[in-house]
């Protein structure tokens, strides 16, 4: 019997020097590889802003600051096992604070990278991430 689950997550759009920071899904079923915004699940009792700061470092090695709420997105999809997941994403625009780009090991992402905004059309970017990047640029 399939289950239903709600997941509340926080993500950030970091645009620095005309490039945006993205992370790649470690799911081998994503062909071509799927890229999305750094971020992740909000732990019990944790604020969305604290989640964002923690997840950014975990997934990219980068420290960010000054989160500004861009919006909230929501979708329902079916997982491979038949379960349905309702994902609520709290999305922020953030500024670079420091750190060196590194890849997450043994997580839901396996690669972090900088991408020129002009090159995003040729990349497989999650719909919510593409929309958020546009919102962050005022498009």
Residue 76 token pair: 């329902």
**pLDDT tens digit sequence for 106-118:** 888 999 999 999 9
Phi and psi dihedrals of 75, rounded to 5?
Answer: -150, 160
Peptide bond into 32 cis (omega under 30): yes
Residue 101 has pLDDT above 90, yes or no: yes
Cβ distance 38 to 4 under 8 Å?
A: no
- Mean pLDDT, the chain, rounded, equals 93
**pLDDT tens digit sequence for 35-86:** 999 999 999 999 999 999 999 999 999 999 999 999 999 999 988 788 999 9
């Amino acid at each position: 019997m399939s289950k239903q689950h709600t997941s509340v997550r926080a993500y950030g759009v970091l645009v620095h020097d005309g490039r945006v920071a993205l992370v790649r899904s470690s799911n081998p079923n994503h062909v071509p590889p799927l890229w999305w915004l750094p971020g992740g699940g909000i732990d019990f009792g944790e604020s969305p802003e604290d989640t964002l700061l923690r997840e950014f470092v975990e997934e990219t090695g980068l420290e960010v600051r000054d989160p500004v709420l861009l919006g909230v997105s929501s979708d329902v999809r079916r997982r491979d096992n038949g379960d349905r997941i309702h994902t609520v994403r709290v999305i922020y625009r953030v500024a670079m604070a420091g750190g060196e780009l590194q890849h997450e090991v043994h997580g839901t992402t396996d690669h972090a990278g900088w991408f020129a905004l002009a090159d995003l059309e040729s990349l497989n970017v999650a719909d919510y991430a593409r929309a958020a990047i546009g919102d962050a640029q005022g498009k």
